[in-house]
Structure 1
Amino acid sequence: MKKLVIVIFALVAITACNNSGNKKTDGDVSSTAVLNEDLSVVNVYYFYGKQRCKTCIAVGNVAQETIKKDFAGNKNIRFTEVNTSEKTNEKLVEKYQVTWNALIIVKGDDAVDITEEAFATANENPETLANRIKDEVNSRL
Structure 2
Amino acid sequence: MNKSLLVLFLAVFFVACGSKTENKQAENQTIATADVSLVDIYYFHGKQRCKTCIAVGDLAKKTIEETYSGNDKVKFIEIDTSNKQFEDLVNKYEVSWNALIIAKGENSVDITEQAFANAVNNPDVLSDLIKEEVNKRIN
**Residue pairs, 1:7-86, within 5 angstroms:** 37-86=34-83
Q: Distance in 1 between matches of 2:33 and 2:43?
A: 18
Gaps of 5+ in 1: 1-29
The alignment status of 1:137 with 2:125, answered yes or no, reads no
Normalised by the size of structure 2, how large is the TM-score? Answer: 0.76
Q: Which residue of 2 aligns with 1:93?
A: 90
Flag the structure with larger Rg: 2
Q: Is the 8 A contact 1:31 1:88 kept in 2?
A: no
Q: Provide the secondary structure at the position in 2 that maps to 1:131.
A: helix
Q: Which residue of 2 aligns with 1:114?
A: 111
Q: Which runs of 5+ in 2 are unaligned?
A: 1-26
- Distance across 2 between alignment mates of 1:86 and 1:120: 26
Cα RMSD for the two superposed structures: 1.7
Runs of 4+ in 1 over 6 A off after TM superposition: 30-33
8 Å contact from structure 1 (residues 48, 56) kept in 2: yes
Q: Which amino acid aligns with 2:99?
A: A
Do the aligned residues in 2 keep the contact of 1:32 with 1:88 (CA within 8 Å)? no
Q: Contact 1:32–1:89 (CA<8 Å) still a contact in 2?
A: no
Relative to its length, the structure with more helix (as a share) is 2
Other structure's SS at 1:140 match: helix
1:44, distance to aligned residue in structure 2 (A): 0.2
Instruction: Tell me the matched-pair count.
Output: 112
Deviation at 1:40, TM superposition (A): 1.1
What amino acid is the match of 1:129? L
Q: Percent identity?
A: 54
Given the two structures, how large is their TM-score scaled by the length of structure 1?
0.75
Q: Secondary structure at the match of 1:72?
A: coil
Task: Give the letter for the 1:92 counterpart.
Answer: L
- 1:38: how far off? 1.4
- Of residues 78, 100, 104 in structure 1, which corresponds to 2:101? 104
Equivalent AA in structure 2 for residue 126 of structure 1: P
Output the amino acid matched with 1:39: V
User: Who is 1:21 aligned against?
Assistant: none
C-alpha distance in 1, partners of 2:28/2:117? 27
